[in-house]
Amino acid sequence: MAITAILRTIKQAVWIGWKVETNWADPLVFAIYYLIRPIAGLLIVGFIFLIGSVVSGIVDPGLFAFLFIGNTFFIYVAQIMIMMSMLIHEDRAHYEVLKHIYLTPGSLQWYIVGRALNGVMNASVSLLLTLGLGVLIFQYGMSIPIPIDWLSIDFGLLSLGLLVGIVCFMAIGFILCGINIMTSKVQFMLPEYVSGILYLFGGVVFLPELLPWWGQHVSNVLPITYFLRIMRFSVIHHTGFDVQMNLLYLAATTIFTVLAGLAFFRVAMFKARRDGLIDKKEEY
């Protein structure tokens, strides 16, 4: 019975999240928005590579593949954390339903999981669009070869790394939810700060080895570093990569992040109940 209630809560949360995401425009406008969003990020990364290649006089397709894959799979980080960071603000201050959700038999924690899974769905759509449009725009439109053999992708390793990574990013999202339930007016900036740190130190657009020594230490404790390494290897299959070691590091950092996220969220909810923050009005 408990499992049935949890699954029902998650299912309804996913449905609510989808309706919230899509009800602001008619289907055509929303479809255009869905296309423009990944294209914009893709073009920024592509033109950064082109400008850098012109300045240096070296065009390395391998470097572009590194940049392309890292930026593409970073979509999961950005989408999940932004959605979960804004969740508390929207449900508490905008729609004023957080207090009702908290009092329902379904757990607020599982409701947040369901809303996060809606972010995963959106990120997956953006990922597929980015991969497809990236090949069309750069490989066929701008004649930049992308050294990816789409038929030899290790989908087993890709799926495993993606699953563990999504769990980790959702755990980070719980930390953001905990911060936002105890504060106000930081929900717009917080995901930008966190995603910016992960973008810089996680090896999204350049190797962590290029960072100063202290930056490399920061990179080595971030799960996104190992997540992106596994994503790149499953697609490109570059040599000299220790799959088992990177999977082990990804699993260890994810377990730590999950435990830290759940513990922080519980502490935040205790403080929110004690201080009356669950139904706090934010008039600004």
Q: Please write the tens of the pLDDT for every residue from 179-230.
A: 999 987 777 888 888 988 999 999 998 889 989 999 999 999 999 999 999 9
- Residue 247 · residue 89 · CB < 8 Å: no
What pLDDT sits at residue 32?
Answer: 78
The answer on pLDDT for 150 being more than 80 is no
Kindly state the average pLDDT of the residues 60-77.
87
What pLDDT sits at residue 1?
Answer: 46
Residue 91 falls inside a structural domain? yes
Residue 42 falls inside a structural domain? yes
Q: Which residue has the tokens 């406008």?
A: 29
| Amino acid identity at 139 | Q
With CA atoms as reference, report the closest residue to 75 among 114, 130, 136: 130
Residue 88 falls inside a structural domain? yes
- Torsion 104-107-112-114 (CA) sign: negative
With CA atoms as reference, report the closest residue to 262 among 133, 143, 110: 110
- Torsion 100-84-111-273 (CA) sign: negative
Residue 103 falls inside a structural domain? yes
The percent of residues above 70 in pLDDT, for the chain, comes to: 98
Average pLDDT, the chain: 87
Residue 134 falls inside a structural domain? yes
The answer on pLDDT for 174 being more than 90 is yes
| pLDDT tens string 78-131 | 889 888 888 988 888 888 888 888 888 768 899 999 999 999 998 898 888 888
Helices (H) and strands (E) in the chain, counts: 10, 0
> What pLDDT band is residue 245 in, cutting at 50, 70 and 90?
very high
Residue 281 falls inside a structural domain? no
Both structure tokens of 273: 């109940």
Residue 146 falls inside a structural domain? yes
The total domain count for the chain is 1
What pLDDT sits at residue 217?
Answer: 95
Residue 266 falls inside a structural domain? yes
Q: What share of the chain is helix, strand, coil (3-state, %, to 5)?
A: 80, 0, 20
* Residue ranges making up the domain that contains 241: 2-275
What pLDDT sits at residue 190?
Answer: 87
More confident residue, 147 or 179: 179
> What pLDDT band is residue 58 in, cutting at 50, 70 and 90?
confident
What pLDDT sits at residue 233?
Answer: 92
| Amino acid identity at 119 | G
- Torsion 205-206-208-211 (CA) sign: negative
